[in-house]
Chain A
Amino acid sequence: MEEEEWSQKVTGNQLPEVDITQPQQLRLRQPRLHPGMEEKLVLQFMDSMHNYLSLFDALSSILREGWLDLASARHSMGGLRINSSLLDMKLHTAATTVKITQYDDIAVDSIAVQPCFTLRKWASSEHGNSQLEDNNVHLRERDGIHQSSAEENAEVTVSKNLLGPTDNDQFSKERSKSLSTFGVLISPKLRASQLSFERALDVLVEIANMRSSVLYSFHQLHEEAEDN
């Protein structure tokens, strides 16, 4: 279907449009690009690079906030209540996982592989909730590529407006369960640091996806340069 659309666009003397939001679905067997299209690719590549670097800045500030909140919690509750010797060594499933999907097209001359990273937070929740969380993160990553400011990418609110109240309750319970390593009556600062590190995880996954997109765009440009 997409190949037909592409052919129509070329036949109609229209500039073939590259849909950067779905890079994993692009076919690499395409005619030589119009010079204007090449510049557009370069601009999109530079935009992606800018967003990628901005995400790094955002990650750095979120992590700084998280570490300081953790130090503040240790200051408030005492070093005996927050230290590494309390971490649970019992075997348990990971609360958060990353799903990597490889999109590649083996039908073209050059194989382009673009991994897509999806964060699954609080995976011990009910399956339905985690699936909803997957979709929300995936949607946000697709939209995030076109966002001009990476700060907006960094402001992850887990699309709470798409989650019902029971989903939020479930996530709150999972967060409390995770923090119960340090006790039940814990300082709000420890909860704040947990949220900071959770946001950092979201940004890390966005960075991974952004990097994947940047590398893919670079690969396209490189191939175009070689063709020229």
Chain B
Amino acid sequence: MYGFEALTFNIHGGYLEAIVRGHRGGLLTAADYNNLCQCENLDDIKMHLSATEYGPYLQNEPSPLHTTTIVEKCTLKLVDDYKHMLCQATEPLSTFLEYITYGHMIDNVVLIVTGTLHERDVQELLEKCHPLGMFDSIATLAVAQNMRELYRLVLVDTPLAPYFSECITSDDLDDMNIEIMRNTLYKAYLEDFYRFCQKLGGATAEIMSDLLAFEADRRAVNITINSIGTELTRDDRRKLYSNFGLLYPYGHEELAVCEDIDQVRAAMEKYPPYQSIFAKLSYGESQMLDKAFYEEEVKRLCLAFEQQFHYAVFFAYMRLREQEIRNLMWISECVAQNQKSRVHDSVVFIF
């Protein structure tokens, strides 16, 4: 039941909700994407983006540009927006905003650990980390030899500490263990975020439950498809699925035993929201599955803005910006590789 948020929300959250709705207005439109898709080279893309909110971030970049440079600079815009909102936020919004970045923190931890395993320079790895997922002792990750040390030396003082209870072993870090660690951490993070949103109640709980359930279900499908043909056992696969979402628990049981994309389709088509996603794909095809999921996600994120006085707008804005950056990355790659005919394979229009 809603708790009359209209009476009290604006006291602490009104300013930031207005800010985030203003930021939403700055997202690229279909006309912007059409212009970008017709660019001949990356300098043209930079020129078109100079008229958008990304302009100040790209204007000083020298030619020749690289696609990774465009992605890095556009990500800085997202980081600046986030930090502005975080420093203005009070509890519980500040905790909610911090939760949004834990996924990036997990990715950074795995990047450092994997890179160290491959004897890469720590400084080089730190430069590649996502800025939203940085924390003070991240460089110390390079000295850990196993997960127990990882936890004891570094992660015990980070927000990821509670998520490590299922991962702590003395096994040496290898590719399989790191992958299981990544997915186990992310599962624990999603479930914790879900519980936090439920505690907040009201419109935040309702909208965030839907968004996080979709995220959990999409993760389950991706884990299933990516683990086909690998050494990951069915039991291990099942353990990586989150304990909530539309597919929990019966859908997970079916996904755990799938051996090809058609079996995944058969399992997912029993759920009406996902039937429409798989209806867009032909049998045996998984190439367009990512785009279909992103389109569904964008639809749900845009709907979050239709209601007021809740925190889900902040989550939705961050995710829509990330989708926009993914679009820019794809357009840049197609332009750089002279494959503009494929540009619409992965671009998801937000408006």
Contact A79 B71 (CB under 8 A): yes
Contact A86 B114 (CB under 8 A): yes
Bitwise interface map of A from 180 to 194 toward B, beta carbon under 8 Å scored 1, else 0: 110111111100000
Query: How far is the CB of B331 from the nearest CB of chain A, in Å?
Result: 10
Q: Secondary structure of the B side of the interface? A: helix
Cα distance A184–B182 when bound, in Å? 11
Would you list which residues of chain A between 155 and 210 have a CB under 8 Å from chain B?
Answer: 172, 176, 180-181, 183-189
Stretch at the interface among A68-76, A122-130, A138-146: A68-76
Contact B226 A185 (CB under 8 A): yes
Would you list which residues of chain B between 128 and 153 have a CB under 8 Å from chain A?
Answer: 128-130
In the complex, whether A67 has a CB less than 8 A from a CB of chain B is: yes
Contact B118 A89 (CB under 8 A): yes
Chain B residues positioned under 8 Å from A98 (CB to CB): none
Would you list which residues of chain B between 205 and 250 have a CB under 8 Å from chain A?
Answer: 222-223, 225-227, 229-232
**Contacts A78-B107, A86-B111 hold; do A72 and B286 have CB atoms under 8 A apart?**
no
Query: How far is the CB of B258 from the nearest CB of chain A, in Å?
Result: 14
In the complex, whether B254 has a CB less than 8 A from a CB of chain A is: no
Contact B175 A75 (CB under 8 A): no
In the complex, whether A64 has a CB less than 8 A from a CB of chain B is: yes
In the complex, whether A37 has a CB less than 8 A from a CB of chain B is: no
**Contacts A72-B346, A184-B230 hold; do A80 and B107 have CB atoms under 8 A apart?**
yes
Chain A residues positioned under 8 Å from B171 (CB to CB): none
* Residue of B whose beta carbon sits closest to that of A89: B119
Would you list which residues of chain A between 2 and 60 have a CB under 8 Å from chain B?
Answer: none
In the complex, whether A101 has a CB less than 8 A from a CB of chain B is: no
* Residue of A whose beta carbon sits closest to that of B178: A183
Cα distance A12–B274 when bound, in Å? 78
Bitwise interface map of B from 93 to 134 toward A, beta carbon under 8 Å scored 1, else 0: 000000000000001100100110011100011011110000
Number of B residues with CB within 8 Å of any CB on chain A: 44
Number of A residues with CB within 8 Å of any CB on chain B: 30
In the complex, whether A83 has a CB less than 8 A from a CB of chain B is: yes
Contact B232 A184 (CB under 8 A): yes
Cα distance A78–B294 when bound, in Å? 13
**Contacts A83-B128, A187-B226 hold; do A75 and B346 have CB atoms under 8 A apart?**
yes
Contact B225 A68 (CB under 8 A): no
Contact A176 B118 (CB under 8 A): no
Contact B230 A176 (CB under 8 A): yes
* Residue of A whose beta carbon sits closest to that of B108: A80
Contact B329 A79 (CB under 8 A): yes
Stretch at the interface among B9-17, B53-61, B191-199, B337-345: B337-345
Cα distance A112–B339 when bound, in Å? 43
Report which B residues bind A (CB closer than 8 A): 68, 71, 107-108, 111, 114-115, 118-120, 124-125, 127-130, 175-176, 178-179, 182-183, 222-223, 225-227, 229-232, 286-287, 290, 326, 329-330, 333-334, 337, 339, 342, 345-346
Listed A/B pairs (25) with beta-carbon separation below 8 Å: A64-B339, A68-B334, A68-B342, A71-B333, A72-B287, A75-B346, A79-B128, A80-B129, A81-B107, A85-B111, A86-B114, A86-B115, A86-B118, A88-B118, A88-B119, A89-B119, A89-B120, A176-B229, A181-B175, A184-B175, A184-B230, A184-B232, A187-B226, A187-B290, A189-B287
Report which A residues bind B (CB closer than 8 A): 64, 67-68, 71-72, 74-76, 78-81, 83, 85-90, 172, 176, 180-181, 183-189
